[in-house]
Amino acid sequence: MTSGGIRIKAWAAAACALFSSAVWANPQPGQLNMTRGVSEWSPEPYFLNNVALGVCVVIGVLVFGAMFIAMFRFRKSRGAVAEKWSHNTMLEVVWTTIPVIILIVLAWMATGGLVSFADTTGSQMTVKVTGYQWKWRYDYVDYQGKAIDKVGFMSKLDEQSNDTRQLRSGLDPHAVKVGDENTYLLNVDKPLVVPVDTKIRFVITAGDVIHSWWVPALGWKIDAIPGIVNAAWTNIKVPGTYRGQCAELCGQDHGFMPIVVKAVSKAEFAQWLAQQEAAGKAPPATPATPASPAPASTAAAPATAQAAPVATTSGKRG
């Protein structure tokens, strides 16, 4: 991290103490402030939010204070007589300049945060995230400079939540739990497993409509857009389970596509990855044996793909 980043971290720590709200990894019911998060970068939006909130509070107190003093101390019933003058050039210059300076400072700070969050250089791992109605797909692309072979899976709402959410299921949402944690609509069948202390690049897209991948503990959310690949990075410092949601209205089941990120130690991750790679290699060996249908289907695919645009163009012309 740059010295600027470290300075921001120090400021974030100071802001933490100032606003002294509980610092949770996952958002808690009744929590007022943002979560500070668990990644290298996540304290930055937390800090920026606290600064902006502090500025808003100071402005609010000053403006409303002046307004209430004017209304109560200088009211007609107390014999106040209105002055006849209007316009004060000095005052107008001051109350235009100060907000402009405040806005420039806030924009400068926020831009610094955005630039650092988009900088995925030096990543040690890449995960491709694809949003679908209404589930997520995770493909592990590479890890520590080595390509990962066929490790990818769909991650969708866990069965217990799904059964409970059905109309007239008669099931109690409060009974959906993992340990002590109520996980109704917050748990998935297969979490995204990642190592801690690793700079992970996420490349994010979608297969149908716009979704948005959001895990508050990582400090950012980013749109998953069909035909566009967005990128962001994280470096999780604390092992644990971090929950998130799709944050873009993406259809009727938008509320039912949670995200679960499980951050584990590097050793545990290596073990998990080896298992997944072994599992990924095993099943394709069996369907690959009927050699003839496979090339036929691959050969058929481009033909249909070619046929489709022709149909559309002729359709447009007609």
Q: Which is nearer to Cu ion, 211 or 262 (CB)?
A: 211
User: How far, in Å, CA of 171 to CA of 93, rounded?
Assistant: 63
- Check: CB of residue 117 under 8 Å from CB of residue 233: yes
- To Cu ion, the closest distance from the beta carbon of 247 in angstroms equals 8
Element spanning 242, H or E? strand 240-246
Residues that bind Cu ion (CB under 5 A): 211, 246, 250
Least Å distance, CB 131 to Cu ion, is 5
What is the rounded distance in angstroms from the CA atom of residue 109 to the CA atom of residue 96? 20
How near is the Cβ of 3 to Cu ion at its closest, in Å? 38
CB of 212 to Cu ion, least distance (A): 7
Residue type, 277: E
| Percent helix / strand / coil, the chain, rounded to 5 | 45, 25, 30
* Nearer to Cu ion among residue 34 and residue 250 (C-beta): 250
User: Do 41 and 216 meet the contact criterion of CB atoms below 8 Å apart?
Assistant: no
Minimum gap (Å) between residue 249 Cβ and Cu ion: 8
143's tokens: 């890890």
The residue among 194 and 250 lying less far from Cu ion, judged by its C-beta, is 250
Q: Tell me how far, at minimum, the Cβ of 314 lies from Cu ion, in Å.
A: 34
Give the residue with the Cβ less far from Cu ion, 246 or 264: 246
| DSSP single-letter state for residue 35 | P
The answer to whether residues 243 and 260 touch, using CB atoms and an 8 Å cutoff, is yes
CB atoms within 10 A of CB 38: 27
* CB atoms closer than 10 angstroms to residue 201: 19
Which residue, 148 or 250, has its beta carbon nearer to Cu ion? Answer: 250
Nearer to Cu ion, 201 or 211 (CB): 211
What does DSSP say about strands 211-215 and 240-246: parallel, antiparallel, or unpaired? antiparallel
